[in-house]
Amino acid sequence: MFGKEKVYLLLSLISSFLLLTGIIQVFPKVTFIGLRFSLIWIPVWILILLLPLYGIVEIIKRTDEANYMFWIALLLNLFNFFIAIRHFNFQFLST
C-alpha cells in the first residue's frame, strides 16, 4: 500500500498535470460570484492552495525521519503555485 509521502507526491504530480492542462487547453466556463473562469481551475486551485499546507504540517510532525518525498512534493507544489500566479498575472508588490 502507499504511504502518506507517496500519496502526497502523487497528488503533487496530479496538480502539476492539471495546471499545465488548464494553461494549455480551453475548458467550459462558469460564472460564480461575478467571476468567470474555467471548470478546470476549481480543483487546480484547491490542490495548489491546500497541498503545501499539508506538506509543511507533515514535515513538522516527522522531524525524526528523513522525509525526502515530502520535501520534493512541497517544492513541486510551490513551483506550481508560482506558475499559477504568473499565469493569472497577480501582482502582489505593484505600486
Element (H, E) at 45: helix 41-61
On the question of pLDDT at 95 being above 60, the answer is no
Residue 63 phi/psi, 5-degree rounding, is -75, -20
Domain boundaries, the chain: 10-87
pLDDT tens, 6-56?
A: 888 888 999 999 888 888 887 788 887 787 778 888 888 888 888 888 888
State the pLDDT confidence band at 94, using cuts at 50, 70 and 90.
low
> What global pTM score does this model have?
0.78
On the question of pLDDT at 93 being above 80, the answer is no
